[in-house]
Amino acid sequence: MVKKGKIEVRIEHCKGCGLCLTTCKLNAIALSTADVTNSSGYPYVIMINENCTGCTMCAIMCPDQAIDVYREQEHS
């Protein structure tokens, strides 16, 4: 079974560069619309699908350390 994951974004740290989007093959994330911004005026990353597997690639590409990744653990 595919493991489930989720991301947590530090909204105030995200600058909306979108590099995480280019690396997400599952299209689980997107940028907020231009009218939804953080206090610096940048759109930020949000989860739009529930198919995240917690592969951490978005966090690896993030220049601003704005993404924390969680992954479901196997139960024995």
Of the two residues 48 and 72, which places its CB atom closer to another protein in the complex?
A: 72
By the 8 A CB rule, do 22 and 12 touch? Answer: no
H or E stretch at 59:
helix 57-61
Instruction: Give the Cα separation of 43 and 31 in Å (integer).
Output: 6
Region class of 56: left (phi > 0), else alpha (psi between -120 and 50), else beta: left
Residue 48 CB, nearest distance to another protein (Å)? 18
Site for another protein in 30-59 (CB under 8 A): 40, 42, 54, 56-57, 59
Residue 32 CB, nearest distance to another protein (Å)? 14
Q: How does DSSP classify residue 33?
A: P
Query: Could you tell me how many residues of this chain bind another protein (CB under 8 A)?
Result: 32
Residues near another protein, by CB under 8 A: 4-6, 10, 12-13, 15-19, 22-23, 40, 42, 54, 56-57, 59-65, 67-73
